[in-house]
Amino acid sequence: MPPETKPDTRQAILDAGQAVVQARGYNALSFRDLAKTVGIKSASIHYHFPTKGDLGAALAKRYTETAAKAFEHILAVAPDAAGRMRLYTDVFRGALINDNRMCLVGIMAAEKADMPAEVMAEVERFIALNVAWLTQVLGLTGPEADPKALAVLSAINGAQLLARGGGDVAIYDRTIAAYRTAGLFP
Amino acid sequence: MPPETKPDTRQAILDAGQAVVQARGYNALSFRDLAKTVGIKSASIHYHFPTKGDLGAALAKRYTETAAKAFEHILAVAPDAAGRMRLYTDVFRGALINDNRMCLVGIMAAEKADMPAEVMAEVERFIALNVAWLTQVLGLTGPEADPKALAVLSAINGAQLLARGGGDVAIYDRTIAAYRTAGLFP
DNA sequence: ATTTGCCTATCTACTGATAGGTAGAATCAT
DNA sequence: ATGATTCTACCTATCAGTAGATAGGCAAAT
């Protein structure tokens, strides 16, 4: 083995884990498969993440943090709501392009019943973050603000879900375009 | 045992199987658990459905057929688009109320990568059925008809997904109301 | 000397699937 | 009508494979 710079194993596990969950769901997340891709043994993953629930929660948490940064970036580079929403929908589009993956939280919501409580808690946090950001970007106020923001998030997640089922990004694009035409968001 | 009328075992397996898939996904479908609820042995399920893929495909097929009948019924009892859409969204709402379940096809789409081809084929048929029905009900024409219908289906599925994650039907209701207000459908 | 980060080896529980057997009903030829 | 055959719908027992998890060891870094 060449003297490579110290690879952060923990990070590698999270990277591989996220890829699996986005592609095949939390249930498909296997310590053995994960260990194989990372290049260590399954027992070693338990060193970093004692239980599968810990790993799942860490995945959801990191995902939310990454999203938070991405959202700040969008606010910085796009001045108006239309441009910001374009970048927002592109984030979900990116997952689809990247190996036909889904939003990590979307797929976790689908598997809710099998998920440890600590994972679900992180999922809720991600949703709350998205709703807050959308409320701000779309300038929503009043009692209907949250439902409206959630409607946008739901619609985009649904588009991702079905486009993924069809295995064609074009389905996602057309669906998003239809939302825009309908005036669901700018 | 009382002299009950012949219980159709095959039907019982499908009923129990559908409940599991809608609640916890295709991956959570276990021959042993299923056998326990039905009251037979797991090997006997293989008699009716040789492989798990066969069972999954049968579930999706029956689901599509049931939906087709429901759609016809809606057309018969509701004269206008608004009334029909109300009943349509209520179908998805019903799944949520019933033990916080999801649309069988929605949850199967989320698990696409793990699914046998024969199951996915049935999933596609279900989507096509819904798109065709929505196109008719909403009076959509032209090249944008299919994308628009798919957008409606996606939005409703997304609402179901997130409402289920939140564990609250009210989330679904508010999201659907937001769609209506936005003019996505009447 | 202790902690870190990995290892080997093993455990129990569960997965779908198969082989082979059987009670009872249906179908058949005589 | 009856005896023989075949089919139906289950059963028991078992398979190889995989799941997450644990105990204990070992080498390097601190």
Domain membership flag for residue B95: yes
Q: Which of A33, A89, A100, A162 to mutate against chain B (most B CBs within 10 Å)?
A: A162
pLDDT at site A2: 31
Return phi, psi of residue A177, to 5°: -60, -40
Domain membership flag for residue B128: yes
User: What CATH number is given to the structural domain containing A100?
Assistant: 1.10.357.10
Domain membership flag for residue B2: no
Name the average pLDDT for chain A. Answer: 92
Domain membership flag for residue A12: no
For residue range A126-179, what is the model confidence (pLDDT) as tens digits? 999 999 999 999 999 999 999 999 999 999 999 999 999 888 999 999 999 999
B175 closest CB neighbour out of A150, A165, A167? A150
Please answer yes or no on whether A161 and B106 come within 8 Å at the CB atom: yes
Q: Which two tokens stand for residue B126?
A: 């279900």
Whole-number Å distance between alpha carbons of B53 and A28: 17
Domain membership flag for residue B65: yes
Q: How many domains does chain A have?
A: 1
Domain membership flag for residue A20: no
Q: Which chain B residue shows the shortest CA-CA distance from A23?
A: B113
For B80, counting Cβ atoms within 10 Å of its Cβ (0-12 exposed, 13-18 middle, 19+ buried), the class is exposed
Name the average pLDDT for chain B. Answer: 92
Give yes or no for A94 touching B (CB within 8 A).
no
Domain encompassing residue A120: 52-182
**Protein residue minimizing CA–C1' distance to D10:** B44
For residue A4, what pLDDT band results from cuts at 50, 70 and 90? very low
Give yes or no for A153 touching B (CB within 8 A).
yes
Domain membership flag for residue B3: no
Helices (H), A25-168: 31-38, 42-48, 52-77, 81-97, 104-110, 117-137, 145-166
Domain membership flag for residue A11: no
Minimum CA–C1' distance nucleotide for B47: D9
Task: Tell whether the model's pLDDT for residue A1 goes beyond 70.
Answer: no
Return positions of chain D under 7 A from a protein CB.
9-13, 18-24
For residue B3, what pLDDT band results from cuts at 50, 70 and 90? very low
Give yes or no for A26 touching B (CB within 8 A).
no
Q: Which chain A residue shows the shortest CA-CA distance from B150?
A: A175
Give yes or no for A28 touching B (CB within 8 A).
yes
pLDDT at site A16: 94
Average pLDDT in the A1-13 region?
A: 62
- Judge contact between A122 and A61, C-beta under 8 A: yes
